Amino acid sequence: MTVSESRARISLAEVLLLVSVFLIAACGLAYELAAGALASYLLGDSVLQFSTVIGSYLFALGIGAWLSRFIERQLVAVFLRVELLVGVLGGLLPMGLFAAHSLMPLGHEGPFRVLLYALVLLVGSLVGLEIPLVMRILKQHASGERGSLRELVAQVLTFDYLGALLVALAFPLLLVPHLGLVRTGLFFGLINLAVACWALWLFRQELRRWAAHAAACAASIVLLCGAWAASEALTDWAEQRFYGEPLVLRASSPYQRVVVTEGRTGVKLYLNGNLQFHERDEYRYHEALVHPALAAHGAPRRVLVLGGGDGLAIREILRYPGVESVTLVELDESITRLAQGPLLSRLNQSALRHPKVQVVHADAYRWLETQPQPGGFDVVIADFPDPSNHALGKLYSTSFYQRVLEHLSASGILVVQSTSPLIARRSFWTVVDTLEAVGLSTTPYHALVPSFGEWGFVMASHRPWKAPPQLPSGLRFLTPKSLPQMMQFPPDMDRVPGGINRLSDPVLVTHFLEEWGKAH
């Protein structure tokens, strides 16, 4: 081999190793994000789950880096084996966790948490080994100035952070919506195995037992490809066990996992595993949400619905012939797309296709900030998911309600779904306290929805609420006689100090997680 050929070969080795750093970093962050997303989906409280998963993973990276000091010989062989282990374990991580959770008895999540953090620590430790090994291999193959510690650290960390940036953007925007969590994990596992394969080729003259390493690479690829082929069937099986009813529709958006089931008692919609409605009794919830406010207003013309992309609240709003326009602001386009499909259109009576309805896909908080014509809505219905994390908690804050007020007419009424006053008593009254803190007169009330239990709502306006003399015809639950009874709270749901929910002090999220955690 000539000197020029040797330099070319060394240059190729350096380039490929730096590319491998880029890919290794991308894969490592992907496994971390997949574990955090899966933990949030299955266990709830995204802030807590992501914080603990990321903290554990970073700790494991440090363990791996520390362990690398004990590896003194056969660096390439060790690196290749580590890549194979990371590819297989990391690639199968979401699939394994998803399957394990479906086998756990309902309410017994302790063993699943142990498995989750054990796998996070194991994969994180292996990933922590990779970069120190690559740097030492690069030092062996780089010459002159390129082999200095200064150059090595600069090059390796640059490619490391670039890989992490790419995945941080692609994971929520491209990969999970199109592949789902399980196949996203397998995709990055195959990338790790590709790095192992080109290390096998690049250092074929240095590796002992090359054939054994090649066989391990081939077996690992076959394993992950087989898992890819079986992933949809396994996901179906796991979700079937989790929900206990036939799955009709499933989708993963950048914001949540959407599942629709249809059993003997009707259609159910779940977001991140949490029930949003049950066909059997959703009319109770939506009649209670909509009609006390619209009927009391008397002549609502413009109505704003924040959240509620399933169209069921809009179905009730359209009972009022005087309503001229309904604006729906829904963050997740997959929900409104689902609501316009044949299954949910049957339930919402094709409400989202009605000519009076305008659908806007936007964050409600930001949308209110950007609207140029304040004070135009007669009724605003805030039908958000429960405040189970800080992202949702801001939609129940004083800042949010002040923005709503800017778009409410002088005689307008705001109604907020406000979780269960029986199970989450302090949470419910915190919503009331927060609305009163922005200067509104409140009317809290509750209704029995069998799928949810006792459920709470709060109306808020500039003047006290007055019971309407009549309601639209055709209602299945509400009557003029039952409305005043809904405003009465028994001792176990009566008012308690809650506090004011602010962006700077999200007490509602704390109360909600504590109260529902005890209930579960």
Query: For residue 64, which amino acid is it?
Result: G
Where are the extended beta strands (E) located within 308-396? 325-330, 357-361, 377-383
pLDDT at 9 over 50: no
Helices (H), 244-326: 282-297, 312-317
pLDDT for 229 equals: 95
- 296, 198: one domain: no
* CA separation, residue 191 to residues 27, 84, 168, 220 (Å): 7, 10, 16, 12
Count of domains observed in the chain: 3
**Mean of per-residue pLDDT scores for the chain:** 89
Instruction: Considering only residues 186 and 157, tell me which one the structure prediction assigns the higher pLDDT.
Output: 186
CATH number of the domain residue 333 falls in: 3.40.50.150
* CA separation, residue 38 to residues 48, 184, 234, 244, 399 (Å): 13, 12, 15, 19, 31
Contact criterion met (CB below 8 Å) for 51 and 36: no
Name the residue range of residue 471's domain. Answer: 282-519
Going by the DSSP 8-state scheme, the letter that residue 502 receives in this structure is: B
* CA separation, residue 294 to residues 290, 354, 403, 494 (Å): 6, 19, 20, 25
Segment 122-135 shows an average pLDDT of 91
- 238, 252: one domain: no
Catalytic residues: 383
The band of 332, judged by pLDDT with boundaries at 50, 70 and 90, is very high
Measure the CA–CA gap between 175 and 440, rounded to whole angstroms: 44
pLDDT for 469 equals: 87
Measure the CA–CA gap between 161 and 54, rounded to whole angstroms: 16
Contact criterion met (CB below 8 Å) for 224 and 115: no
- 309, 269: one domain: no
Instruction: Considering only residues 176 and 446, tell me which one the structure prediction assigns the higher pLDDT.
Output: 446
- 328, 380: one domain: yes
Residue set of the binding site? 256, 286, 310, 330, 363-364
pLDDT for 6 equals: 42
Where are the extended beta strands (E) located within 52-113? none
What are φ and ψ of residue 447, in 5° steps?
A: -145, 150
Structure-block tokens of residue 324: 């001229």
Segment 479-492 shows an average pLDDT of 94
pLDDT for 520 equals: 67
* pLDDT, tens digit, 9 for 90 and up, residues 440-458: 999 999 999 999 999 999 9
- 355, 427: one domain: yes
pTM greater than 0.85: no
Segment 104-124 shows an average pLDDT of 85
Contact criterion met (CB below 8 Å) for 443 and 506: no
Segment 116-127 shows an average pLDDT of 95
Across 15-24, 134-143, 425-434, least confident range: 134-143
pLDDT at 147 over 80: no
- 318, 258: one domain: no
- 148, 264: one domain: no
- 184, 208: one domain: yes
- 239, 254: one domain: no
Across 86-95, 310-319, 369-378, least confident range: 369-378
Closest to 36 (Cα-Cα) out of 172, 151, 136 = 172
Most confident of 160-164, 388-392, 469-473: 469-473
Residue set of the binding site for S-methyl-5'-thioadenosine? 256, 330, 363-364
- 237, 324: one domain: no
* pLDDT, tens digit, 9 for 90 and up, residues 10-19: 466 677 778 8
- 48, 65: one domain: yes
CATH number of the domain residue 132 falls in: 1.20.1250
Closest to 53 (Cα-Cα) out of 35, 31, 30 = 35
Please report, rounded to a whole number, the percentage of residues in the chain having pLDDT higher than 90.
Answer: 62
- Which domain-ending residue is among 192, 226, 243? 243
- Which domain-ending residue is among 243, 268, 300? 243
Instruction: Considering only residues 216 and 244, tell me which one the structure prediction assigns the higher pLDDT.
Output: 216
- 382, 514: one domain: yes
Residue set of the binding site for spermidine? 286, 310
pLDDT for 161 equals: 83
Q: Tell me the sheet residues that pair with 16.
A: none
